[in-house]
Amino acid sequence: MKNYKNAVAIAMVALMVFSIYSTVANANDQEKEYEGYLTAAREMAELEVIEDAAANYRKALDMKDTVDVNIEIGRMYVDNGWLSEAISWGEGVVEKYPEEPAAYEFLLQQYISAQHYDKCFVLRDQAEGREAVNAAFEELMGQIEYVFEMEYSTYDEVGVFGNGYCAVLDEEKWGYCDLYGDEEIKAKFLWAGAFTTDGVAPVQDENGNFYYISESGNKKIAIQNLEKCMDLGLSINQVLPAGDNGKYAYYNQKFEKVFDGEFSYATAMNGDVAAVERDGKWDLIGADGKMLTDAGYDNVILDEKGIAFRNDRVFVEKNNQVLMIDKEGNQIGEQTYDDAQLFLQADGYAAVEVNGKWGFADKDGKMMIEPRYEEARSFCNQFAAVKKDGSWGFIDAAGKPVIEFAFEGAKDFNERGCVFVKMNGKWKILKLMRNNYK
C-alpha cells in the first residue's frame, strides 16, 4: 500500500513537471512565432512593402497587443508618407489605449504634420482630462500654441471691439462685425462709435443725423433737447457726453443734463471719471459734476473709444511731458513719457514712449518691458501689438514675440482670441486656434 501511495505521488509530480514544461515550451513557441511576425513585418517595412508589413504586424498584435507595437505600425505609415493612414491608425490607438501618453504624443505629431490644428487642441483636452500628458506632448503643443488662421472678410478701416462688436468701414460706409469679423449690422452709417455694456452705440446716419442704435442696428435713443448735435460719446452707465451747438455736456439717455456745466470737449464717463476741456486746458471731473483736479493740463490721452480714465489711471500732458496720474491728480511713479496709450485691462501693461521708443509700464509706473519698439498698443487679453522694423506683430507679457512681425497694422485681441490685422491695405481677422477650435 505504501509503495502504491509513493507511485501515485511520483506520478503526480511527473505530471506537474510535464505540464509546466509543456506550458513553458508552448509559451516559447508562441514567443518565437510572435517575434517571427515582427521580424517579417520589419523586413517588409524596410523594403517598403507596406501592405505585407501591416499584415504581419496585425498577426503579431493578434497574439500580443501592446501600445509600443501599435505606435511602431503608425511610424511605418509616417516613414512611407502614408499620413492619412497614420492619422487613422493613431486615432485607433488612442481609442484602444486612452490612458497611454505615448498614444496621444504620436497622434499629435501627425495632426501637426497635417496642419489639423483644431484637432490638436481637441486632443489636448482629451489627454489632459485623462491625465495622459507627457513632456513630449507638452513640447509639441508649445510649438503650435500661437498658430492662427485668417478669416476671409476684409474691411477698409476698423474701430475697436466693445461689448462683442466692432465698427468696420466697407465701401465708405460704417457697420459692425461680431467677434469673429463677420458682418452683424449692415454698413450704412457715415460714422460709428463703439458699443458699451449699455447695449448701445453712437452713430451718424447718411443724412447727418446723430443717435444711438441697439445691437439690432435700429435706432434706440433719439436726440432730444439739443439745438444742434455735432458729436456723441459713449453711453456708460446711462451717462453720455454730447456736443450741442459748439458746447459739450453730460446727459442721461433722455437727454436731460445730469449736472450743470458746459465744456469745449468732454470724454466718456468711465468709472465715474472723465476728462473735460475748458479754455484750452484739461482736468478731471466726477460723475457728480465736481472737478477732481484743478491743474490745467495741456492735454489728456484718450483711447479710440474717447475714454480718458481706465484702470484707475489717466495719462496727462504738462510742459511737454506725459505723466501717469490717479483721479485725484497725484503722479504715479517718477517716470515721464513722450507719449502713452491707456491701460486696456486691469492686469495688463500700458504702452509708453520714452526717448522715441515704446515699452510697457504697470499701473504703479514701473517699466515692465523696456522701450525698444517703433510703435505699440497696450496689452489686451494677454497680448500687445508692437511695431518693429516697419511691421506689426504681437508679444506676450514677458516681452516674447509670439506672432510674427508681418502686418501693416494691428489692433487689440478680443476675448475670443481674435484680432484685426492689416494686410495689403485691408483689415481682416486673425484667429488664434487655441481659442477657436471648438
345, pLDDT greater than 50: yes
Residue range 280-292, pLDDT digits in tens: 999 999 999 999 9
Residue with the bigger pLDDT between 32 and 405: it is 405
> Does a structural domain hold residue 53?
yes
What's the farthest any 2 CA atoms get from each other in the chain?
A: 130
Q: What is the CATH number of the domain that holds 93?
A: 1.25.40.10
DSSP symbols for 297-335: BSEE---TTSB--BTTBEEEEETTEEEEE-TT-PBPSS-
Instruction: Classify 135 as helix, strand or coil.
Output: helix
13, pLDDT greater than 90: no
pLDDT of residue 11: 54
> Does a structural domain hold residue 60?
yes
**Are the beta carbons of 181 and 422 closer than 8 angstroms?**
no
> Does a structural domain hold residue 35?
yes
> Does a structural domain hold residue 30?
yes
The parent domain of residue 16 ranges over 2-145
Confidence of residue 28 (pLDDT cuts 50, 70, 90): confident
pLDDT of residue 24: 47
> Does a structural domain hold residue 52?
yes
Total count of domains within the chain: 1
Which residues, 6+ apart, have CB-to-CB distance to 6 below 8 Å? none
Residue with the bigger pLDDT between 73 and 28: it is 73
Residue range 304-323, pLDDT digits in tens: 999 999 999 999 999 999 99
Residue range 367-419, pLDDT digits in tens: 999 999 999 999 999 999 999 999 999 999 999 999 999 999 999 999 999 99
Q: How far is CA 236 from CA 131, 167, 177, 195, 198, in A?
A: 45, 17, 21, 10, 6
26, pLDDT greater than 70: no
Residue 146 CB neighbour total at 10 angstroms? 16
Q: Which residue has the cell 517699466?
A: 367
> Does a structural domain hold residue 402?
no
> Does a structural domain hold residue 377?
no
Residue range 134-150, pLDDT digits in tens: 999 999 999 999 999 99
268, pLDDT greater than 80: yes
pLDDT of residue 224: 87
5, pLDDT greater than 60: no
> Does a structural domain hold residue 62?
yes
Q: How far is CA 423 from CA 147, 148, 339, in A?
A: 17, 15, 26
